């Protein structure tokens, strides 16, 4: 199984529960409808990877997200995640009313920083994603349509969350295509204090 890191511990998530359409500006940039309830989809353990790897024949888009590690049914740690998306495939599937898995749950579509502990209060959490030293995405708790505590309850009504599972809370506006030789910097802040910084080089 694929793994993530929490402090000095190696953890093997059974699944990643993802939230779509949780930021109004991102909904607008993709011309989607605003949901009445959280949009939930799953990535399997096999989606987890340490590096962003492009294939010549595929256009992959990045989506930076605040992510939570689950323990004892609670949000126990926070990390930065990249939800990689085959956007043209997703568009085609959506037009046909078909599921998104081909566009969202493929191998290597979930990239994470290390996770760091936090006190359970998500209200001051925010993220930034820069590519080649240019800020592309910025957002956090205040901009979320559905807050993390609401997402946790909604997910638990539908899925059993095992220790080590991850919740990806959706992406702010500014998503776009990944290009070869890009350098990504993902950051997580608590009360404007930097707690996580992760660099990825594109292969």
Q: Walk along the chain (203 residues) and give the pLDDT tens digit of each residue.
A: 999 999 999 999 999 999 999 988 776 777 677 789 999 999 999 999 999 999 877 899 999 999 999 999 999 999 999 999 999 999 999 899 999 899 999 999 999 999 999 988 999 999 999 999 999 999 999 999 999 999 999 999 999 999 999 999 999 999 999 999 999 999 999 999 999 999 999 87
Q: How many CB atoms lie within 10 A of CB 126?
A: 18
pLDDT in the model for residue 58:
83
Residue-range domain boundaries for the chain: 4-201
Q: Using CA atoms, how far apart are residues 74 and 91, in angstroms rounded to an integer?
A: 34
What span, in angstroms and rounded, lies between the C-alpha atoms of 5 and 22? Answer: 26
What is the pLDDT, as a whole number, of residue 140?
97
Instruction: Supply the pLDDT for residue 33.
Output: 76
Task: Give pTM, 2 decimals.
Answer: 0.96
Q: What is the pLDDT of residue 27?
A: 65
pLDDT of res. 31 = 67
- Spatial separation of the C-alpha atoms in residues 38 and 154, rounded to whole Å: 8
Fold (CATH) for 4-201: Fumarylacetoacetate hydrolase; domain 2 (3.90.850)
| Pairwise CA distance, residues 137 & 86, whole Å | 19
Q: Which residues pair with 70 in a beta bridge?
A: 75
Q: Residue 55: which residues within 8 A CB-CB, separation 6 or more? A: none
- Max distance between CA atoms of the chain, in angstroms, equals 45
């Amino acid at each position: 199984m694929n793994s993530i890191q929490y402090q000095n511990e190696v953890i093997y998530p059974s699944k990643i529960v993802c939230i779509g359409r949780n930021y109004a500006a991102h909904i607008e940039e993709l011309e989607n409808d605003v949901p009445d309830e959280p949009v939930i989809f799953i990535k399997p353990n096999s989606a987890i990877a340490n590096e962003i790897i492009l294939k010549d024949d595929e256009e992959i888009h990045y989506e930076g997200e605040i992510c939570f590690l689950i323990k004892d049914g609670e949000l126990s740690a926070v990390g930065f995640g990249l939800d990689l998306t085959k956007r043209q495939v997703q568009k085609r599937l959506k037009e046909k009313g078909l599921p998104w898995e081909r566009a969202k749950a493929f191998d290597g579509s979930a990239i994470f920083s290390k996770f760091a502990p936090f006190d359970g209060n998500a209200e001051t959490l925010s993220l930034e994603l820069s590519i080649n030293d240019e800020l592309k995405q910025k957002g956090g708790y205040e901009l979320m349509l559905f807050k993390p505590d609401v997402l946790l309850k909604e997910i638990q009504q539908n899925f059993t969350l095992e220790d080590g599972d991850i919740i990806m809370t959706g992406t702010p506006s500014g998503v776009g295509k990944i290009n070869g030789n890009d350098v990504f910097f993902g950051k997580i802040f608590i009360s404007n204090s930097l707690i996580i910084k992760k660099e990825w080089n594109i292969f």
